[in-house]
Structure 1
Amino acid sequence: MKVPPGVQTENPGMVCKLQKSIYGLKQASRQWHNKLTAVLIQSGFSKSVADYSLFVKNFESSFTAILVYVDDLILTGNNINEINHMKQLLDSEFSIKDLGKLKFFLGMEIARSTQGIFLYQRKYALDLLQETGMLAAKPSSTPMEYSTKLIHSKCGDLLPNPNIFRSKKQKTVSRSSAEAEYREIALAACEAQWLVHLLQDLTVHHSEPVMLYCDNQSALYIAANPVFHERTKHIEIDCHSVRERIQSGLIHLLSIHTTFQIADIFTKSLSPQLFRNIRSKLGILDIHMPACGGLLESNNVLNTNQDANCNIEENEEESLRR
């Protein structure tokens, strides 16, 4: 590190050797992660290849996992004795603060019941509405206006800098809708493979192929046809890895009608009826419904305020802060 101001040195080109990393230095986060990794590996944990922030430990029927974000840790497992042992070990090494059962992490809120664990972002949504001054606004039936049509007109002023309005999501230009759909299938296949590897690290084995639904017949034909031709020779080689994943049994492509494509709720402006129909298929529950006293499940009333009923299949989640 550079010599602090006010310290006299014989050679102005000399620097100080860092003996111990502290907060505020660029090396602090790296040194902290290296130290934590060394302690966990020495304790029998292994680092996940799919996610380097995940550490897992399997011993006979005991399973323990630790998820790390900077200096915040989530500790979970099916053996309460192992969880308590790790809490004592981490406290002796780093002087951690035990925050109890996980309720809030990275903007995500957690509610528990005997039916399972529910994730929601109510506080985050309310903060966005408050920042934009729309907290008292009337709710809309759909997030996007579905009846608006763009018209061609020569009226109006030119944009001073059109580049600020350009989209940065798509890195390449597709020559057809089929090519665009095929590229998205390739990206979805990569995500599916990553999820399968992550589930394996969590001792969840997924032996069946991952179902991918596509509403573009041309894209399905390209994925099924192993022969290159004029229409697909310009597509990058890495996009054609879809065929390899299909042959290996990792994914299975299925055709679906556009009306039933659930992904359209995130990409298209839908009518209120179609929007509600697709939304009902996402498994979303309103745990704050007033009719149920603020607690809801589709058929059974959930109790998310009682900590006594927080055990789910004898799993314990703990939130730890260094």
Structure 2
Amino acid sequence: MEPAQAPLLPAPLVPADPTSPPPIEPAPPAPAHPMRTRLRDGISQPKTRTDGTVRYPVPHALLIVLDDVEPTCFSQASKHPLWCAAMSEEINALLRNQTWSLVPPSPTHIPVGCKWVFRIKRHSDGTIERYKARLVAKGFHQRPGIDYFETFSPVVKPATIRTVLSLAVSRRWSLRQLDVKNAFLHGFLQEDVYMVQPPGFVNPAHPTHICKLHKSLYGLKQAPRAWFNRISTFLLSLGFSRSLADSSLFIFQQGSHTIFLLLYVDDIVITGSDPSLLQTFISLLSRQFDIKDLGPLSYFLGLQVVSHDGALHLNQLKYVHDLLHKSNLLHAKPPSTPIAAKSVLTANDGDLLTSPTEYRELVGSLQYLTLTRPYISFAVNTVAQFMSSPRSPHMVAVKRILRYVKGTIDFGLHFTPQSPSTRLIVYSDADWAGCPDSRRSTTGYLIYLGSNLISWCSKKQPTVSRSSAESEYRALAHACAESSWLCSLLYELGVRLHFPVLMHCDNLSTTYMAANPVFHARTRHIELDYHFVREKVALGSHQVCFIPSVDQQADLLTKPLHKPRHHLLCSKLVRPRPLSLQGGVKPHALIKEEESETDSSQSQ
């Protein structure tokens, strides 16, 4: 039997100490205050006890702000459950993939460091898709010739993307988008690379061990090359062939069935003649790699792709909105042109910027924006020439381009169906001695596949031209080389082109030089360009045609223009997104939402 428990007795009274001060009488209650408080109304929140490891509950409004912030280090992310779950998911994927094995440290093994990188993935409308944590190796610790050798890996060219999209529209093919999860982890390493254990996930049984990498990891210098070799080897084993014109384009041809695959690191776009064959291929790809099928192509590399009435519209609405928000120009007044018609930017005018980082970031973002906006190519090319030592007038010019982009935020390329047998049409132009510092000319050209614009360029020429005819001829040679490359690409894609390729030039001397060998003495110093174009014209693959300057569309890519001329040529290159598109954000809707929020906050 258990012993009986002693009854609980009341604590004995402690006699009062005669030396202690007498007890203080409680003060009478204070008169009721007329102010109403939440406690008087019975509104109170329960107190939450903590032992120092559990955080107090965060208000919902503040939690939304915290969820929208990307941590910069592991210590910040470890305090948020969503980021902790993202890191655990990444580590589990690495372990399943057998990316590394733990080995004891050795004096001959010099491990590289690693860190966590956190990103919030969003949909095209700006809403949060998922929280992504990536373990990245510190590749700058690697030693050349020991930890890595070859590092180059190709990516698909923008002109190839636009060409394939134009063909898919013309052939009524479906476009599918795939994403490879942890793409770089699939590549096999040929070198012995060691890495420290990830922060927050050190093996307690072997805390001093290091990781010997068997497969590539993000951040390693050879990771892109290892991944490209892995997936290209797999595609070639399925019967695909790699394009000679673009190494990141893979073509499958079997009878009447065709598949085109565009590879940009871990983003894949496929299109083909048979939807069932596409689905079979996606299933085979999913067995080899961790593939996420994103369905029909809608958002790729910051480009929003929208189908409408058999046509395809490409724009960068979300990218522009984020760029304007970052530069605090979301509510600025847009000008009529991206660069003033009489503006002359030089390398020595104005004061040097104290911090050129912002200038370089904005110019780099604008360069990516030219993927769907050729009408700002000349302005962006102009401000990009001062990246080494930007000055205050250059920053003013960059802000003007951004304000102009705000006024044309919904503009983009528009692809319509073309006939099976179409023609390449080229517009070539040059601005002779347009640069006030070096007196070099500017090359500009546009290349159309039927009525779809697929390639363009605005670039300063590498040498000084002694005459306007010479600058025009150099521009014609660049356009001829690009059109020749596009002809070989279209041949591999099975497109029957009408020849010759028509190259329009507004300089009579240039057209004569392309057809008449008597001018050889005048063009001895540009002999290579001369012989290249002459050879194409003699073979009959190209034909140089004169066009009046008023009809020269490439004029937009060589010099600043006045408002009427700029708007006329701009309307021939791009168009705004139709308002009747389903499932997308209407043009300017994001900006109007921001403006309404700003107005309401100011009124408060």
Partner of 1:273: 564
Q: Which residue, 205, 214, 220 being the options, matches 1:20?
A: 214
Distance 1:183 1:305 in 2: 46
2:411 corresponds to 1:133: no
C-alpha contact 2:504 2:547 (8 A) present in aligned 1: yes
Distance 1:74 1:157 in 2: 46
Distance 1:278 1:100 in 2: 36
Amino acid at match of 1:287: R
Partner of 2:577: 287
Q: Which residue, 447, 464, 468 being the options, matches 1:177?
A: 468
Partner of 1:46: 241
2:491 corresponds to 1:200: yes
Which residues in structure 2 correspond to 1:28-107 (within 5 Å)?
28-107=223-302
Partner of 1:7: 105
2:449 corresponds to 1:254: no
2:596 corresponds to 1:305: no
Which structure has more relative contact order (CA 8 Å, sep 6+)? It is 1
| CA deviation after TM superposition for structure 1 residue 238, in Å | 4.1
**Structure 1 residues 189, 21: CA separation in 2 closer, same or farther (over 3 Å shift)?**
same
Distance 2:108 2:309 in 1: 69
C-alpha contact 1:215 1:256 (8 A) present in aligned 2: yes
Amino acid at match of 2:503: L
C-alpha contact 1:21 1:27 (8 A) present in aligned 2: no
Partner of 1:320: none
Q: TM-score, normalised by structure 1?
A: 0.78
2:498 corresponds to 1:222: no
Distance 1:5 1:55 in 2: 39
Amino acid at match of 1:106: L
Distance 2:471 2:308 in 1: 42
Distance 2:566 2:306 in 1: 26
Amino acid at match of 1:51: D
**Structure 1 residues 170, 52: CA separation in 2 closer, same or farther (over 3 Å shift)?**
same
SS in structure 2 opposite 1:180?
A: helix
Partner of 2:477: 186
Amino acid at match of 1:20: H
| CA deviation after TM superposition for structure 1 residue 119, in Å | 1.0
2:390 corresponds to 1:112: no
Unpaired segments ≥5 residues, structure 2: 1-101, 111-145, 148-190, 194-212, 354-385, 391-436, 439-458, 585-604
Distance 1:188 1:141 in 2: 29
SS in structure 1 opposite 2:504?
A: strand
CA RMSD of aligned residues (A): 3.0
2:263 corresponds to 1:263: no
SS in structure 2 opposite 1:211?
A: strand
**Structure 1 residues 91, 253: CA separation in 2 closer, same or farther (over 3 Å shift)?**
same
Distance 1:188 1:10 in 2: 54
SS in structure 2 opposite 1:195?
A: helix
- The Cα offsets for residues 113-152 of structure 1, whole Å up to 9 and x where unpaired, read as 2322111122222233223322212222222222x376xx
**Structure 1 residues 229, 210: CA separation in 2 closer, same or farther (over 3 Å shift)?**
closer
Distance 2:470 2:482 in 1: 19
- The Cα offsets for residues 197-225 of structure 1, whole Å up to 9 and x where unpaired, read as 11122211213222111111121121112
Partner of 2:535: 244
SS in structure 1 opposite 2:518?
A: coil
C-alpha contact 1:112 1:304 (8 A) present in aligned 2: no
Q: Which stretch has the larger CA shift, 236-245 or 206-215?
A: 236-245
**Structure 1 residues 9, 234: CA separation in 2 closer, same or farther (over 3 Å shift)?**
same
Quote the sequence identity (%).
39
Distance 1:111 1:135 in 2: 24
SS in structure 2 opposite 1:244?
A: helix
SS in structure 2 opposite 1:273?
A: helix
| CA deviation after TM superposition for structure 1 residue 266, in Å | 2.4
| CA deviation after TM superposition for structure 1 residue 47, in Å | 0.5
Partner of 2:316: 121
Distance 1:190 1:11 in 2: 49
Amino acid at match of 1:21: K
| CA deviation after TM superposition for structure 1 residue 51, in Å | 0.6
Structure 1: which 4+ aligned runs deviate by more than 6 Å? 156-160, 165-168
SS in structure 1 opposite 2:523?
A: coil
Q: For the pair shown, which has the larger CA radius of gyration, 1 or 2?
A: 2
Q: TM-score, normalised by structure 2?
A: 0.43
Distance 2:526 2:327 in 1: 42
Amino acid at match of 2:224: S
C-alpha contact 1:210 1:252 (8 A) present in aligned 2: yes
SS in structure 2 opposite 1:100?
A: strand
**Structure 1 residues 6, 179: CA separation in 2 closer, same or farther (over 3 Å shift)?**
farther
Unpaired segments ≥5 residues, structure 1: 151-155, 289-293, 296-302, 307-322
Query: Which structure has more strand as a fraction of its residues?
Result: 2
